[in-house]
Structure 1
Amino acid sequence: MNADLTEEEMRRALFGTAERESQVPAVPVQEPVPEVVFARPVAAPVAKKKVAKAFTQRLKVTLRVGNVFEGETYELIHEADTLSSLLAEQEAVKAARKKYKYVEVVSVKSM
């Protein structure tokens, strides 16, 4: 190995020749692209098909409701689309509380 390298030779070995630095590649000029507007074709509205719902089990919740404590009560029936009797009961009580002050659950039955 040659240990007597000059500084210029070392620079060329590490960084390459100085000629490459002077040659800068020209940037290609892009031609302006004409503006094109895409319009969607007007199509007649398509009627959406109704998907038939699968049969879901419903629960019938029977409530005894009233607005007077130990007064006149009415029987109210609420139908819930759930399998959980607890959720059906909570849903029925929540709906009945909007109109009545006193709500008592009588039964929860499957339909």
Structure 2
Amino acid sequence: MSSGFTEDEMRRALGLDTPTPPVAPPVIVKPEPVPVKAAPLSPKEPSKVPVKRRGPMLRVTLQVSKEYDGEETRFVHDAKTLSRFDAEQEAKKALAKAGFKYFVVESIVQVD
């Protein structure tokens, strides 16, 4: 099935045989050096204070002791979660690190 067009005619019809303009070499621009200022040395820079979390959290209060029926002390742990279960678990982990074995949960209250 011949349409009677040659390949050159089809290329011209599709615009594929247009002459390409000569390609200029790329222009390379060298950046100018930026002078760097030396910071003055200060004897002691102020330490960064960690940002305290804003918003509500839970305060877990426990009666703890290291021995069974031993001397009881009050232990307070502030948890940065709003889940009562997670707050109690965090407090238990803190108790274990402090060396306490026995505890009784006194209260879990929300602190703003």
TM-score w.r.t. structure 2 length? 0.51
**Following superposition, which runs of at least 4 residues in structure 1 exceed 6 angstroms of deviation?**
none
Contact 1:61 1:89 in 2 (8 A): yes
The amino acid that maps onto 2:107 is: S
- Which consecutive unaligned segments of at least 5 residues does structure 2 have? 40-50
Q: 1:25 to 1:101 in 2, by over 3 A?
A: same
The structure whose Rg is larger is 1
Tell me the CA shift for residue 60 of structure 1. 3.0
What is residue 76 of structure 2 aligned with on the other side? 77
Question: Following TM superposition, by how much is the alpha carbon of 1:15 offset from its aligned partner in structure 2, in angstroms?
Answer: 2.9
In 2, the alpha carbon distance for the partners of 1:96 and 1:28 equals 76
Q: 1:16 to 1:61 in 2, by over 3 A?
A: closer
Distance in 2 separating the partners of 1:89 and 1:95 = 10
Q: Return the offset for 1:107.
A: 1.8
Deviations 1:21-80 (A, max 9, x none): 6x85353122432311463886x9xxxxxx9975x3343322122222333332212233
In the alignment, residue 30 of structure 1 is paired with which amino acid? Answer: P
**Which amino acid in structure 1 is aligned with residue 59 of structure 2?**
K
Cα deviation, residue 96, structure 1: 1.4
Counterpart check, 1:87 vs 2:68: no
Q: Distance in 2 between matches of 1:11 and 1:63?
A: 94
State the Cα distance separating 1:86 from its structure 2 match: 2.8
Report the residue type matching 2:30 in the other structure: E
Percent identity (aligned): 28
